[in-house]
Amino acid sequence: MFRKKRVRRRSVKGYETTEKTIGEVFEKAKKSSDFTTVTPLEKYPSLVISFYETLIDSKVFFQSVLPSLKEKASELKELSALKNIIPIEKIKITTDHTEVEKGLYDGAIVIYFEDKKEEYALLNIADHRLGQRETNDTQNEFSVIGPKVGFIEDLSTNLHLIRDHLSTSDLIFEEVTVGSRERTKVVLAYLDGVTNPDYVNTAKQRLKELDIDVTTDNTQLEQLITDDSTTPFPLYITTERVDRVVNAIVTGQVVLISDKSSYAVIGPATLMDFFSNPEDFYLPSIIASFFKLIRIFGMLFSIFATSFYVAILTFHFEVIPKDLLGPIIFSRANVPFPPVIEVLFLEVTIDLLREAGARLPTKIGQTLGIVGGIVIGQATVEAALTSNILLIIVALAALSSFTTPIYKMSNAVRLLRYPFILFAAIWGGLGIYVGLLFLIAHLARLKSFGAPFFAPLYPYRRGGVAVSFIRPTLTKYNKRPWYLRPLSLKRYSPVKDKDPEEGLNSE
Partner 1 sequence: MKKRRKHHILFLVLICLICLFGCSRTRIIDKISIIHVFGFDQAENGELIGTALFPDYTMSKDGDQIQKLEEQAPTSILFVPKMSEYTSTPIELAKVRVLLLGRNFAEAGIQDMVRRLILNPQIGTHIQIAGSTHSAGETLTKFQKEKSLTLAERLQQNMQGQYLPYMTLHDFLNDFYGEGVDAYVPMVTIDEKDRVKIDGIGIFKGDKLKLHLNPDQTTLFSYIEDKRTQATYKMVLDDKNRGEIVTVRAFHSKSKWDWDQKKERINLRLQLQMTLTQYPDRFDLKKEQVVMEMKKLIEEKLEKDLGNLLGTLKENGVDPLGIGNIVRSKDRTWEKAAFYEQYPTLPISVNVDLKILHSGLEG
* Interface positions with partner 1 (CB under 8 A): 1, 3, 312-315, 317-318, 320, 322, 325-330, 332-333, 335, 338-339, 426-428, 430
Whole-angstrom Cα distance, residue 335 to residue 441? 37
| Closest by Cα among 231, 219, 292 to 260 | 219
Nearer to partner 1, 69 or 328 (CB): 328
Query: Which pairing describes strands 108-113 and 171-178: parallel, antiparallel, or unpaired?
Result: unpaired
Min separation Cβ 427 and partner 1, Å:
6
Residues 6+ apart with CB under 8 A from 261: 151, 153, 217, 218, 219, 221
| C-beta separation of 349 from 315 below 8 A | no
Nearer to partner 1, 333 or 504 (CB): 333
Rounded to whole angstroms, the Cα distance separating 54 from 35 reads: 8
**Residue closer to partner 1 (CB basis): 421 or 457:** 421
Question: Measured from the CB of residue 431, what is the shortest distance to partner 1 in angstroms?
Answer: 8
Closer to partner 1 by Cβ: residue 266 or 424: 424
Rounded distance between C-alpha atoms, residue 48 and residue 217, angstroms:
36
Q: Which is nearer to partner 1, 293 or 341 (CB)?
A: 341
Residue 307 beta carbon to partner 1: minimum distance, rounded to whole angstroms: 15
* Alpha-carbon span 89 to 83, nearest angstrom: 8
CB 420 within 8 A of CB 397: no
In angstroms, give the least distance from the CB of 384 to partner 1.
12
Least distance to partner 1 from the beta carbon of 306, Å? 15
Which letter does DSSP use for residue 479 in this model? B
Task: Kindly state the smallest distance separating residue 185's Cβ from partner 1, in Å.
Answer: 37
Question: Which residue's CB is nearer to partner 1, number 352 or number 430?
Answer: 430
> How far apart are the C-alpha atoms of 446 and 454, rounded to whole Å?
7
Euclidean distance between CA atoms 142 and 278, whole angstroms:
10
Work out how close the CB of 418 gets to partner 1 at its nearest, in angstroms, rounded to a whole number. 16
Nearest to 40 by CA among 79, 78, 73: 73
Based on CB atoms, which residue is closest to partner 1, 318 or 501?
318
* Cis peptide bond prior to 459, omega within 30° of 0: yes
Contacts 24+ apart (CB under 8 A), 392-398: 393/305, 393/306, 393/309, 394/305, 394/306, 394/343, 394/346, 394/347, 394/350, 395/350, 396/301, 396/305, 397/301, 397/302, 397/305, 397/306, 398/302, 398/350, 398/354
Nearest approach in angstroms of CB 240 to partner 1 is 38
Minimum CB distance to partner 1, residue 315 (Å): 6
Q: Which one, 88 or 384, has the nearer CB to partner 1?
A: 384
Q: Of 315 and 469, which has the nearer Cβ to partner 1?
A: 315
CB 224 within 8 A of CB 278: no
Q: How far apart are CA 330 and CA 324, in angstroms?
A: 10
